[in-house]
Structure 1
Amino acid sequence: MRKALIGLVALIILGVIGFLALTSPSAYRLIRAEASTPDTSRTPNAENGRVLFFAGGCTSCHAVPNNPDKLRLGGGYALKSPFGTFHVPNISSHKQDGIGSWTTADFIRAMREGLSPDGRHYYPAFPYTSYQRMSPGDLSDLFAFMQTLPAVEGRAPDHELPFPFNIRRGVGLWKLAFLDGKVFTLDASKSASLNRGAYLVNGPGHCAECHSERNVAGAIIEERRFAGGPDPEGRGIVPNITPHPSGIGGWTATDLTTLLKTGETPNFDTVGGPMGAVVANTAQLPDADRQAMAEYLLSLAPKQGFKKPE
Structure 2
Amino acid sequence: MRRILTGFLAITAVAGLGGVSLAVWPIAEPPKLAELEGDAQRGAYLARAGGCIACHSDPDSGRPALTGGAPIKTGFGSFVPPNLTPHETSGIGAWSIDAFARAVRQGVAPDGAPYYPAFPYAFYGHLSDKDIADMWAAFQGVPAQEVTGGENDIAFPFNLRFGLKLWRAAYAKGPPTEADPERSEVWNRGRWLVNGVAHCGACHTDRNLLGGRRASQYLAGSDDLAGGGKVPAIRPGYLAQAGWTVASLAYGLKSGVMPDGDTFGSGMGEVVRHGTGWLSEEDRRAMAAFLLDTDETGDGG
| C-alpha separation in 1, matches of 2:266 and 2:179 | 33
1:19 aligned residue: 19
Instruction: Extract unaligned runs of 5+ from structure 1.
Output: 1-13, 301-310
1:147 aligned residue: 140
Displacement of 1:185 in angstroms is 2.2
Bigger CA drift: 256-265 or 46-55?
46-55
2:107 is the alignment partner of 1:108 = no
2:260 is the alignment partner of 1:267 = yes
Structure 1 residues 15, 259: closer, same or farther in 2, change over 3 A?
closer
1:169 aligned residue: 162
Contact 2:43 2:131 in 1 (8 A): yes
2:183 aligned residue: 190
Contact 2:58 2:70 in 1 (8 A): yes
Displacement of 1:68 in angstroms is 6.9
| C-alpha separation in 2, matches of 1:184 and 1:216 | 26
Contact 2:171 2:212 in 1 (8 A): yes
| C-alpha separation in 2, matches of 1:58 and 1:248 | 31
2:48 is the alignment partner of 1:48 = no
1:68-115 per-residue CA deviation (whole Å, 9 max, x = no partner) reads 78x621104111011111122111121211012211111110011111
1:216 aligned residue: 209
1:158 aligned residue: 151
- Percent identity of the aligned residues? 39
Who wins on radius of gyration, i.e. which is larger? 1
* Aligned length in residues: 280
| C-alpha separation in 1, matches of 2:199 and 2:76 | 20
Contact 1:87 1:158 in 2 (8 A): yes
Structure 1 residues 247, 157: closer, same or farther in 2, change over 3 A?
farther
Structure 1 residues 286, 76: closer, same or farther in 2, change over 3 A?
closer
2:53 aligned residue: 59
The code of the aligned residue for 2:154 comes to L
Contact 1:132 1:183 in 2 (8 A): no
TM norm structure 1: 0.83
The code of the aligned residue for 1:163 comes to F
The code of the aligned residue for 2:20 comes to L
SS at match of 1:85: strand
| C-alpha separation in 2, matches of 1:62 and 1:15 | 31
| C-alpha separation in 2, matches of 1:81 and 1:244 | 30
1:154-205 per-residue CA deviation (whole Å, 9 max, x = no partner) reads 2343321122111012211111222238984222222221111111111110
| C-alpha separation in 1, matches of 2:194 and 2:248 | 17
The code of the aligned residue for 1:242 comes to R
Structure 1 residues 74, 247: closer, same or farther in 2, change over 3 A?
farther
Displacement of 1:140 in angstroms is 1.6
Q: CA RMSD in A?
A: 2.4
Displacement of 1:249 in angstroms is 4.8
Aligned mate of 1:134, from 127, 136, 143: 127
| C-alpha separation in 1, matches of 2:47 and 2:283 | 13
Q: Where in structure 1 do 4 or more consecutive aligned residues deviate above 6 Å?
A: none
Contact 1:114 1:128 in 2 (8 A): yes
Instruction: Extract unaligned runs of 5+ from structure 2.
Output: 1-13, 295-301
